[in-house]
Structure 1
Amino acid sequence: MNRKQLLTSVLAASLLTTALTACSGDSGGSSSDEVTILYRPGSLSDSAISGAQNAFPDAKIKFIKTADVDTKLGAALRTGKNLPSIVTADPIRYAPTASKFTDVSKNGFTPEVAATYLGWKVDLGRTASGEQLGVPIDVGPLAYYYNADAFEEAGLPTDPDAVGRLVSTWDGYRSLAKKVRADDKFACDDPGLLFYYETWSKGFGFYEKSGDELEPDIDNNIGKTAFDRAMDFQSSGLCANVMAYSNDWNSGLSRGEIVGFLQPPWVGGAGLQTAAKKQSGEWRVATATPDGYAAADGSMLMLPKTSTDPALATKVAIWLTNATNQASGYTKNGLFPSALGAYKSPDLTKPQAFYGDQPAASTLADISEKAPRILKGVDTDAINGIFQQSIRDAATNGDSAEAAYDEALEKAETQFGQ
């Protein structure tokens, strides 16, 4: 799952619930030995897709690739027709319709199996009443990527541990960014993401627990502090004010103007290593981020209730996400594993030439294991997106931090508050 997918606007829970509760049928019309997997491009490893049929010779495995999984899944749930056996989705988004999905913990995803994945990732697939609706796929450990040659020219340390110590506090990161800026370069790309990532490091997703339920918690000191810090970077000219993967971002990397940024690992393959191809060997990955470790939650495999044997579908989901397939998914598809066994795989422990022979994936594994679980609700990403956009807009309209925050807060509370 790439960053664009992560930031895609989610369906409003009330609309989703209304639409899906109109459906009473659970059958997708498939036979019990037919397992159909609906997935987004890049959300499953190539090895998982190519090897599934051989792994389950007595089943009929069919993969359906689409960029618009949620629309197709929503339509199938409404009509009860063409339901996939397995789908790449976000259990939090579909929590209001949990009864439409299989509890995999009762069909083979035992505590022993669950223990082979990151604990916080497993927890994100569990409902308040204890049903396990998701089998983990990838996660997005947040790291600091930087060009060591550019840092040396700016009089900064180049060793990942030393850079990590600098970036581990906001004051340290600001000092680093100022030195890089003195060379007419940037150690930050998108100030909106600084806000997003700060909330991640606190496990904050604009919700709070109220008994067994989650309620919106939009005007919170964690979010306000994160917003002010991001606005400080933006208003001080320390960020390039470009979004990852945009043409301006690619150009900035290619020209050597953007020499550092905070990002999850999916920035590597088609992003950084493509845009900065000529800088191979100069880049490094630092372990720490300001105020703590952080990771995006990534995707999961969910099992809509169909006529497919749920125990078989659960076995297939577990196999698709095993340590071997997830390790391969990182090296070939940029999906960072949630399966703990993958972290010891040669695919993740080997030196990487682009990062100056640094075993960068081991750094990302350490972050993944130390990151907190984000307390997310159905509208977390949409709320976050409002505040991010306000920060980006302030870069062009000149709004103060106070005005930009107040505008974003009013919009978020109008749309998602209670």
Structure 2
Amino acid sequence: MLSTTAACGSDEGSTVTADVELTIATFNEFGYEDLLKQYQDTHPHVRITHRKTGKADDHHQTMFTKLASGSGLADVEAVEEGWINQVMAKSDQFNDLTKIGPSDVTAERWLQWKSDAASNRDGELIGYGTDIGPMAMCYRRDLFEDAGLPSDPDAVGELFATWESYFATGDRFVAKSGRAWFDSASQVFNAMVNQNKVGYYDRDDNLVVESNEAIKKDWDQVTAAVGGGQSAKLVAFGNEWNTAFKNAAFATKTCPSWMLGVIEAQSGPENEDKWAVTASFPGGAGNWGGSFLTVPKQSKHPKEAAELAAWLTAPEQQIKAFTAKGAFPSQNEALLSPALLNQTNPYFGNAKVGALFAEQANKVPAAQHKGPAAGQIQDKVFADALQAVESGVEVDEAWKQAVEGATKLAK
């Protein structure tokens, strides 16, 4: 049936006639603007409306509301890793992509820990992996030099070998410079928790915040560092946090691949080559961030939607998305591509960021089970509790606040 819709970019574009109208809903920056135009050019029977939301929270709240109502979802819905387990709990409302997607697109295309996170217990693949957030450490080369610390990316490796050495170096830095070592307690804590074999939930979706010794150890280390003056006490992604990059208010930044673009945008051209990035990350490998493309059963064109999602997550397109917005590829073939491995970043001293983050991605041993409310527990409960510590609340009282908040969310 022929129908009329606006071309990709729902608030502008000419009216065209197409056989299939598809909608795709994403959040933040996926780097899809040019790719969606390219797809339409090569698939003239398809027209795409892109619903793009600024905040991940807003996107997911809207998605789950529409899922519950039984209508209104896009043909392709993006899901961030912190919410994927809520989707998996309702996987009967999403299509199994192994059945409706292209036959040559299998789970083996992705890093195993990536595809595992979107596969349910019946072996159904609910989401095609988009990006990932392999961890590295970014730091201000000039501030290190001023504090008498080594500043070459290879030389700082020993400083970041473990979280113990990282925080010990932070004490030295604060004593020498009087500046903060890191931006925000919650940003460091999140990276540490994401490294653990077990996070806020066990694999049976039991909340284990209070009984998980690894989480309590992470909490104790971070809050001790706050007590030692290492935190700039900033709210991540807030206005003061943005400005702090320009003002050199802190020396190190936990740095998933997508953070490079944030640092460059907020630090500005005047700070080019003052930032460096190293593959050495405390505690070894870790992942923070990344998403999936799903096809809800509400879609009237599930086969065409799956074809679009498969194309967007193919190696070639993943590399283009990385170039456009820093969304690091999760496909095995993309991680071996010279087009990725040879990519450098002039802002970070021409660091070979493609090869660096590919190496980090391959070190991640397995996907941490996130559990139904893991995203909210991370972004709301523990972030608020750690901000309370940074504001002067007693550490034990803030821990109690975090446990109670997580328990309430998990009910």
Decide whether the 8 Å contact of 2:234 with 2:241 is kept in 1: yes
What aligned pairs does 1:323-334 form with structure 2 within 5 A after superposition? Answer: 323-334=315-326
- Shifted more, 387-396 versus 36-45: the winner is 36-45
User: In the alignment, which residue of structure 2 is the partner of 1:8?
Assistant: none
Which AA in structure 2 matches 1:408?
A: A
How far has the Cα of 1:146 moved from its partner?
A: 0.7
User: Residues 270 and 387 of structure 1: is their aligned pair in 2 closer, same or farther, counting only changes over 3 Å?
Assistant: closer
Q: How many residues align?
A: 383
How far has the Cα of 1:111 moved from its partner?
A: 7.7
User: In the alignment, which residue of structure 1 is the partner of 2:27?
Assistant: 40
User: Residues 128 and 214 of structure 1: is their aligned pair in 2 closer, same or farther, counting only changes over 3 Å?
Assistant: farther
How far has the Cα of 1:334 moved from its partner?
A: 2.3
Decide whether the 8 Å contact of 1:245 with 1:271 is kept in 2: no
What aligned pairs does 1:1-80 form with structure 2 within 5 A after superposition? Answer: 33-67=20-54, 68-80=58-70
User: In the alignment, which residue of structure 1 is the partner of 2:137?
Assistant: 144
* Pair 1:82 & 2:77 matched: no
CA RMSD of aligned residues (A): 2.3
User: In the alignment, which residue of structure 1 is the partner of 2:161?
Assistant: 168
- Give the Cα separation in 2 of the matches to 1:336 and 1:134: 17
User: In the alignment, which residue of structure 2 is the partner of 1:217?
Assistant: 208
Describe the SS at the equivalent of 1:375.
Answer: coil
User: Residues 285 and 70 of structure 1: is their aligned pair in 2 closer, same or farther, counting only changes over 3 Å?
Assistant: same
How far has the Cα of 1:307 moved from its partner?
A: 5.3
Q: Deviations over 1:391-412 (max 9, x none)?
A: 221121241x333222322332
- Higher relative CO (Cα under 8 Å, sequence separation at least 6) belongs to 1
Decide whether the 8 Å contact of 2:98 with 2:106 is kept in 1: no
User: In the alignment, which residue of structure 1 is the partner of 2:228?
Assistant: 236
Q: Deviations over 1:356-388 (max 9, x none)?
A: 111123212211221241111111122233123
How far has the Cα of 1:44 moved from its partner?
A: 4.3
- Give the Cα separation in 1 of the matches to 2:344 and 2:84: 35
What aligned pairs does 1:321-360 form with structure 2 within 5 A after superposition? Answer: 321-343=313-335, 344-360=337-353
Decide whether the 8 Å contact of 1:227 with 1:387 is kept in 2: no
User: Residues 404 and 340 of structure 1: is their aligned pair in 2 closer, same or farther, counting only changes over 3 Å?
Assistant: same
Aligned counterpart in structure 1 of residue 302 of structure 2, from 303, 310, 324: 310
Describe the SS at the equivalent of 1:325.
Answer: helix
Describe the SS at the equivalent of 2:48.
Answer: strand
Could you list the runs of 5+ residues in structure 1 that have no partner in the other structure? 1-30
User: Residues 308 and 165 of structure 1: is their aligned pair in 2 closer, same or farther, counting only changes over 3 Å?
Assistant: farther
* Pair 1:159 & 2:146 matched: no
- Shifted more, 74-83 versus 45-54: the winner is 74-83
Decide whether the 8 Å contact of 2:31 with 2:322 is kept in 1: no
How far has the Cα of 1:71 moved from its partner?
A: 4.1
Describe the SS at the equivalent of 1:52.
Answer: helix
How far has the Cα of 1:79 moved from its partner?
A: 3.9
How far has the Cα of 1:139 moved from its partner?
A: 1.1
How far has the Cα of 1:60 moved from its partner?
A: 3.5
- Shifted more, 235-244 versus 336-345: the winner is 336-345
Describe the SS at the equivalent of 2:179.
Answer: coil
* Pair 1:246 & 2:241 matched: no
User: In the alignment, which residue of structure 1 is the partner of 2:367?
Assistant: 373
User: Residues 161 and 116 of structure 1: is their aligned pair in 2 closer, same or farther, counting only changes over 3 Å?
Assistant: farther
Which AA in structure 2 matches 1:151?
A: F
Decide whether the 8 Å contact of 1:46 with 1:333 is kept in 2: no
- Give the Cα separation in 2 of the matches to 1:302 and 1:407: 35
Which AA in structure 1 matches 2:147?
A: A
Decide whether the 8 Å contact of 1:43 with 1:88 is kept in 2: no
Describe the SS at the equivalent of 1:93.
Answer: helix
- Give the Cα separation in 2 of the matches to 1:61 and 1:387: 38
Describe the SS at the equivalent of 1:382.
Answer: helix
- Give the Cα separation in 2 of the matches to 1:75 and 1:389: 25
Which AA in structure 2 matches 1:387?
A: F
- Give the Cα separation in 2 of the matches to 1:307 and 1:224: 43
User: Residues 154 and 276 of structure 1: is their aligned pair in 2 closer, same or farther, counting only changes over 3 Å?
Assistant: farther
- Give the Cα separation in 2 of the matches to 1:412 and 1:64: 31
> TM-score, normalised on structure 2?
0.86
- Give the Cα separation in 1 of the matches to 2:28 and 2:190: 24
Decide whether the 8 Å contact of 1:285 with 1:363 is kept in 2: no
- Give the Cα separation in 1 of the matches to 2:247 and 2:69: 51
Aligned counterpart in structure 2 of residue 179 of structure 1, from 162, 172, 182: 172
User: In the alignment, which residue of structure 2 is the partner of 1:392?
Assistant: 387
Which AA in structure 1 matches 2:280?
A: A
Q: Deviations over 1:118-177 (max 9, x none)?
A: 211111111122221101111112221012222122221222233233212122112321
Decide whether the 8 Å contact of 2:183 with 2:231 is kept in 1: yes
Aligned counterpart in structure 2 of residue 294 of structure 1, from 275, 280, 286: 286
How far has the Cα of 1:315 moved from its partner?
A: 1.7
Decide whether the 8 Å contact of 1:103 with 1:132 is kept in 2: yes
User: In the alignment, which residue of structure 1 is the partner of 2:118?
Assistant: 125
Describe the SS at the equivalent of 1:214.
Answer: coil
Which AA in structure 1 matches 2:21?
A: E
User: Residues 252 and 58 of structure 1: is their aligned pair in 2 closer, same or farther, counting only changes over 3 Å?
Assistant: closer
> TM-score, normalised on structure 1?
0.84
Q: Deviations over 1:152-203 (max 9, x none)?
A: 2222122223323321212211232123222122331111222211111113
Aligned counterpart in structure 2 of residue 193 of structure 1, from 173, 187, 193: 187
Decide whether the 8 Å contact of 2:105 with 2:310 is kept in 1: no
